[in-house]
Structure 1
Amino acid sequence: MTEMMPAGSFSSEQITALFIDAARLGDTDMLMQFLDAGMEVDAQDSRGYTALIVAAYNGVLPATGLLLERGADPNMQDAKGATALSGVAFKGHLAVAELLVSAGAKLDIASHLGRTPLMFAVMFGRQDMVRFLLGQGADPHQRDVEGLSVLDIAETHGQSHLFASEGAPNR
């Protein structure tokens, strides 16, 4: 028989999970309640996810904005080294990317595999995101841990056309 936990006896991991779930769902009222009660805005779960990383990844603009307004660090990295901008570039949420960059998200933070947001945008054919990141000054010359450049990745994923009108970066 399993014992029920008394009300109010949640572990810090459970509280963090509820906070991050509120971000995933875009529940700004719940996020504000957590933050007003003293929740650390950049609390990380066991995977290193923060509420901002999850809200941004899921394209939840209002929650992303709220978390940034309340001081979330747009450059926090999860356990794999990915930032909120990495996830947004992968998913193609341009409005969220614009918000993150305007809040100080660095364009070229690489994951543990050396992959930058620009590389993720190229890998998944997010042409508008590629243009946005390049326009903001993302470095197309960085290489991942395998030594691949953005152009190498574009060719491998059948996305070299993304650079046809932009002028291909040097290898």
Structure 2
Amino acid sequence: VEQQQHQELCDLVGLLVATALIVAGYAALVSRRALIPRWLGAQKFAPPETPSSSSSTKMSDRLTTSQRKAKECATKAEDLCAVGDTDEATRLYERACKLDPDNARYKMGLDSMKHQKESMGYFMEQLAKHKANRKYEKASPDASQADVADAAEQLCRAAERGELPSIKGLIDSGQSVNTWNELRQGDSALHYAKDAKTALCLLDAGAHIEGGRYSWTPLMAAVRFGRRDVVRVLLDRGADACRTIPRKEPGAGRNVLFCATSGCHLSPSERAEIVSVLLKAGADPTACETETHWTPLHDACLSGDAEVARLLLDAGANVNAASTRSCAFPMSRGWATPWDVARGVGFEELVEELGVRGGTAFEHLHAYAGPQGRV
């Protein structure tokens, strides 16, 4: 009897111990952090924080006006860096940082420009001294390809800085003004003429008005970088404003108007002025990209250039030309007219202007005759 009572007492104690362990384990599991060591990442199991009323507000996908202007300034600065104009690029980066101070990319670009100017200061000083005493020697007939490329690069750099004595010295030494610069994708020196005097100097020396390996002409380059005086010189000398990029090259179907409506380094009023000059010279307002059917009018609506849009429409641009280029806003069945673009970006005044001219959304069109035909 005593053994039986002892056995029952042991069973009861074991049951109580097991119950206590279960209760303790459950309590530790509820507290979470007490049971999970830090090196296993206990913070991952922390309960989610309740979002505040201010952070729960959904952010708009559309960029603000200042952010859009900052992006345009940064894009222009990157293009100017590519042609060596660090002073203007620094100024544009500073403006972009003021418009969008939270953008780390713009700050990094500005710091890069400042470091580059500091590191190049001594070099440019020595280079100026060298140029003052420089003697140009004619390249030998059996000059290597590297020597030819170096001479072409020297001429392009002198043209983009407007250094007429250096240009004349290279030309007098026998350097051809029509040599394709392999370091700059086959461009000629005329592509980089800084001003009208530089362009005239190169043209008088025999520079080809449409020079370059590909269909990127000096006129397109002058419009792209906002050199209005060079544009007028080239047009007066017979530059072809109707030329388009052929099918086998990037940007097929584009003409010089695209250079003015997309990323031109000019203010809206100056851009309208240069578009007017190009249209009078015979540039086709109905030109479009071969692949996407994007037109200069789409570009004008995307950037909100109402004056440029009016000039293009007055010259015969199709107000309902449709494009398949992917945009940051929903498109009807994958197509977008200039009206769709202006409405998607939020330029309501331009939407009204297009509506007065007969523009509408693509989904409202009963028949579509292509970018060069009217609906």
Normalising by structure 2, we get a TM-score of 0.34
Question: Which residue in the other structure is 1:154 paired with?
Answer: 260
* Corresponding residue to 1:99 among 184, 201, 208: 201
The correspondence for 1:82, drawn from 169, 187, 190, is 187
Structure-1 separation of matches of 2:140 and 2:211? 29
TM-superposed CA distance for 1:53, in Å, is 2.2
Runs of 4+ in structure 1 over 4 Å off: 36-40
Show the counterpart of 2:242. Answer: 141
Which of 162, 171, 174 aligns to 1:59? It is: 162
CA distances 1:93-121 after superposition (whole Å, capped 9, x unpaired): 22111100000000102354x21110011
Within the alignment, does 1:27 sit opposite 2:131 as a pair? yes
Return the alpha-carbon distance in structure 1 between the equivalents of residues 198 and 176 of structure 2.
14
Bigger Cα Rg: 2
RMSD: 3.0
Partner of 2:283: 169
Letter in 2 for 1:27: K
Answer whether contact 1:83 1:109 (CA < 8 A) is retained.
yes
Residues 36 and 73 of structure 1, relative CA distance in 2, 3 Å threshold: closer
Selected match of 1:115 from 216, 239, 245: 216
How many angstroms apart in 2 are the aligned matches of 1:81 and 1:38? Answer: 22
Q: Contact between 2:152 and 2:189, CA under 8 Å: does it hold in 1?
A: no
Question: Which amino acid in 2 is paired with 1:169?
Answer: A
Unaligned runs of 5+ in 1: 1-20
**Per-residue CA shift, 1:17-52, capped at 9, x if unaligned?**
xxxx9xx747153233xx179696x93347x84322
Is residue 69 of structure 1 aligned with residue 175 of structure 2? no
- The two structures have a TM-score, normalised by structure 1, of 0.69
Change (3 A) 1:67 1:111: same
List runs of 5+ in structure 2 lacking aligned partners.
Answer: 1-123, 265-270, 288-375
Residues 142 and 150 of structure 1 are in contact (CA less than 8 Å); yes or no, is this contact kept in structure 2?
Answer: yes
Q: Provide the C-alpha distance between the structure 1 equivalents of 2:138 and 2:186, rounded to a whole number of angstroms.
A: 29
**Superposition map of 1:35-54 within 5 A:** 35=137, 43-45=147-149, 49-54=152-157
Task: Give the CA deviation at 1:70.
Answer: 2.1
- Alpha carbons of 1:54 and 1:169: their partners in 2 closer, same or farther (altered >3 Å)? same
**One-letter identity of the residue aligned with 2:159:** A
Are the equivalent residues in 2 in contact too, given 1:82–1:110 (CA < 8 A)? yes
- Percent identity over the alignment is 28
Could you tell me how far 1:69 is from its partner in structure 2? 1.8
Number of the residue aligned with 2:86 = none
SS in 2 for 1:44: helix
- Aligned-pair distance for 1:162? 0.4
Structure 1 residue matching 2:135: 3-state secondary structure: helix
Q: Summarize deviations over 1:68-90 as a string: whole Å, max 9, x none.
A: 122210000111111110111xx
CA distance in 2, matches of 1:37, 1:133: 29
Greater RCO (CA < 8 Å, at least 6 residues apart): 1
Label 1:37 to 1:162 Cα distance change in 2 as closer, same or farther (>3 A): closer
Give distance in 1, aligned partners of 2:231 and 2:138.
37
